[in-house]
Structure 1
Amino acid sequence: MKKRRKKKLWQFPWAYKESVLFLAGLCFTGIVLQVLCGEFPLELLSYPVNIYCGLFIIISLSFFSFWSNNYIYQWISGIPFSVTVLGFFMLLSLFMGLIPQSALDEATIFSQLIIKLGFNSMTSSWLFAIVYSLSLISLGALIIRRSKKFKWSDYAFYLNHFGLWMILFFAGLGAADIKKFQMYVNKGETEWRVYNKNGESLELPLAIRLNDFVMEEYKPKLVIIDKKGKPLPVENPDYVQIEAKHSVTSIMGEYEVLVQRYIHDAMRKDNYFEERKMTGSCPAALVKIKSNKTGFTKEGWISSGSPYIIYQTLQLDSLHTLVMTQPEPKKFLSDITVTKKPNNKEKVSEQISYLLEVNKPIKIGDWSIYQYGYDEKAGKVSNYSSFELVYDPWVNYVYIGMIILALGSISLLWKGNKTNSNYDLG
């Protein structure tokens, strides 16, 4: 009986061993480039270069498919290479999840190494660019190879793989065209300009007018501080939320606090507060506090204050003071009017009004506008609002890819249930 000859390494057809070694070599090359050259020059792939690169990949894979018997083509479009590329891609995703993708403190040698290798900014590293490119090529070759023997019954395969390829293609090659800006707009003013990383002023095709800034707040909290201003107990400060009028709360297990009156929008008048909803108003409460240990009681007004009104506290003794914290924002939004510059076909500028909230961006053409921030020191009387403007001309194609991928996933589930049903009936 003849012994089966063991295939030598790098002898065609290539399988998993060759695929792993090949990708490991390219990844090592990417790390070397990262150390020597810094981040991958993503800006070089800006429009129209990314279009040319995409067309080159598609045309090259299509022509290459005519030599389907070639070992290299069979390897690139085969399962071993695809699975290996997917494994490397998942490994990089794991690194991205475990390592903060932000600026790191260079105080430690480990942090310096992470920064040098580009692991804290993975999507802009040479390593990621190489693995991403191989994923695009492998998935594209697999789709073309399967399409040459097209079958309608394989619709779930085509939907899944083509949807995923579209996501990778447009999200990756379109990344160089994404632009992000922050715009600060004062209340009652209109702003067209933003500033780039070099501090240079840029004029955008969109203008934002801030009509009003509105903030809803949670009720403030009560806490006892020492003479140095530190909340007590020092190890675990006891903050108590004000619930409503006549509510009784316990602080530090020793003091009972009765809220006799609470006004969220108050103005000071002599030695007390009255309700007035106007600029500069602040939360205030008339409280009565009692010590369960000594029987000591005291009554008075306390307030968190505002940029226009000084805060007020209730002194308990030489060591303890009852104070009210600043109310935390519950929701804030900006009443804005967006003006679009007219293009060659339009003669009149388009103006649209929005109520812009956090995590509820508005989309105008290829631009998305997000509520970014406000003057945190001024709080609800902030005189300006800041916005993040993101330009992404490819995002709609990414969404189409997601829809196709979702349809493919549903098709797989439906097809699987149908197969199981047929099997049970048989």
Structure 2
Amino acid sequence: MKFEAKHLFILLLLLSVVIQCAFGNFPFAFFAFPLDALIALLWIAGMVYAYKENRSSRFVQMWLSPQCTYWTLGWLIAGSLVIGLFPQLSAAEAAERSGLLARLGCYHFTTSWIFVVGLFALLTHLGMITLRRGFRPGRNRWRFILNHAGLWLALFAGVVGSAEEQTLRIPVFRDRPNNEAVSEEGAKIYLPKELQLNNFTVEHYANGTPRHFFAEISIDGKPARLEVNHPYAANWAEDYYLTSYDVQSEQPRYCVVQIVREPLKYVMWLGVVMMLCGGCLLFLAGPNRQNKELCETSR
């Protein structure tokens, strides 16, 4: 019996289920930045080598086949249905669940081996067809490359980045500096920098309810201004949000700052921008001339 794409994906699905039941969810913490970026570069280099040197092999042709498209998209749609049908909990809450569905990672599905292997298959297929079009001449190949390579970056950074995303909350006091934050799971985390409240201003409506408020804080002596929905970018991967404050005092003694760490957010934005550029080229260049001629010939 000839080994086909369906056999490959059935094997990958069964293997991911076995690993999920045996070892639990995928260890994203081990593959944190910058290791994930290095793996992505090696992955892309491997696809380029496989296509350039072994494009005629049965294995490479399977990743380029239409059947691979059906299987990878079907896997992604099924995974999206699981995420929509089952409540997605934090890692700590999901670990407390029992039963077959919990063993399969349905309550924290984006970090399950089943979802990760399916995403790996989709990105491999997407990368291979992008390379195939990139190595072929043609006036419209750049719009194809921008759309598909942008989608590759957005999917990779969106899923891997969300798994690495960390959200912390820290009370920032007026009378003393503080570096003790709390994670979403309730764990204490000591920041390498101290935060202190310098000034807090609240603007009210005529009836006395708060209309707008902002805080001026210091981060290791460096001044920063925080407003609601206007985060302060401490660096390229870390943003500070003002979430609440001491409403019991006329002059708030503290405010609460939320720290969001997203190492790959700009990579995801780059992917989105690439897709927008590809869409603009698609609009400006019009339909593919070869396809247009085929349509006219078939009349």
TM, length-normalised to structure 2: 0.79
Contact 2:149 2:274 in 1 (8 A): yes
> Please, which runs of 5 or more residues in structure 1 have no aligned partner?
1-9, 218-262, 266-328, 342-348
Check conservation: 2:177, 2:194, Cα contact below 8 A.
Answer: no
CA deviation vs aligned residue, 1:146-181 (integer Å, no higher than 9, x gap): 212132322221110011111123334445653321
Matching of residue 368 in structure 1 with residue 253 in structure 2 = no
Matches within 5 A, 1:220-299: 264-265=207-208
Deviation at 1:186, TM superposition (A): 2.8
The DSSP-based 3-state class of the residue aligned with 1:42 is coil
Q: Which residue of 1 aligns with 2:23?
A: 37
- Counting aligned pairs with the same residue, the percent is 21
What is the deviation of 1:64?
Answer: 0.8
Counterpart of 1:141 in structure 2 is 128
**Residue of structure 1 equivalent to 2:216:** 336
Q: Which residue of 2 aligns with 1:54?
A: 40
SS at structure 2 position matched to 1:369: strand
Greater helix share, structure number: 2
Tell me, in whole angstroms, the C-alpha distance in 2 between the residues paired with 1:398 and 1:148. Answer: 25
Is residue 73 of structure 2 the alignment partner of residue 93 of structure 1?
no
Q: Which residue of 2 aligns with 1:202?
A: 190
Q: Contact between 1:185 and 1:208, CA under 8 Å: does it hold in 2?
A: yes
Structure exhibiting the larger radius of gyration computed from Cα positions: 1
- Write the distance in 1 (CA, Å) between the matches of 2:119 and 2:222: 40
Moved over 6 A (4+): none
| Distance change (3 Å), C-alpha of 1:35 and 1:165 | same
Larger % of strand: which?
1
Q: Which amino acid aligns with 1:351?
A: P
Paired residue type of 1:404: M
Q: Deviations over 1:6-54 (max 9, x none)?
A: xxxx526x3xxx43x5324423332332232222111110234223311
Give the equivalent residue in structure 1 for 2:267.
Answer: 397
3-state SS of the aligned residue for 1:368? Answer: strand
Q: What is the CA-CA distance between 1:113 and the residue it aligns to?
A: 4.1
Q: Unpaired runs of 5+ in structure 2?
A: none
Across the two proteins, how many residue pairs are aligned to each other? 285
Q: Does structure 2 retain, via aligned residues, the 8 Å contact 1:183–1:193?
A: yes
Q: Which moved more, 1:187-196 or 1:149-158?
A: 187-196
CA distance in 1, matches of 2:130, 2:178: 48
2:50 corresponding residue in structure 1: 64
Match of 2:202 in 1: 214
Q: Give 1:407's aligned residue.
A: 277
CA contact (8 A) 1:373 1:386 kept: yes
Is the counterpart of residue 27 in structure 1 residue 13 in structure 2?
yes
Q: 1:338 to 1:25 in 2, by over 3 A?
A: farther
Counterpart residue type for residue 36 of structure 2:
N
Which amino acid in 2 is paired with 1:116?
R
Distance 1:174 1:102, change over 3 A: closer
What RMSD in Å do the two structures reach over aligned CA positions? 3.4
Question: Does the aligned pair in 2 maintain the 1:46–1:174 contact within 8 Å?
Answer: no
Contact 1:362/1:368 (<8 A) preserved: yes
Q: Does the 8 A contact of 1:45 with 1:173 survive in 2?
A: no
**Which residue, 152, 158, 165 being the options, matches 2:145?**
158
Q: Does the residue aligned with 2:118 lie in a helix, a strand or coil?
A: helix
CA contact (8 A) 1:159 1:407 kept: yes
Quick check: 1:369–1:387 contact (8 Å CA) kept in 2? yes
Deviation track 1:96-154 (CA, whole Å, cap 9, x = no partner) reads 123221269x9xxx984433321121111111111111122111111112212132322
Which of the residues 173, 176, 185 maps onto 1:186?
173
SS of the residue corresponding to residue 182 of structure 1 reads strand
Please give the alpha-carbon distance, in whole angstroms, between the structure 2 residues aligned to 1:60 and 1:149: 19
Contact preservation (8 Å) 2:175, 2:253: no
Q: Distance in 2 between matches of 1:124 and 1:112?
A: 18
Letter aligned with residue 136 of structure 2: K
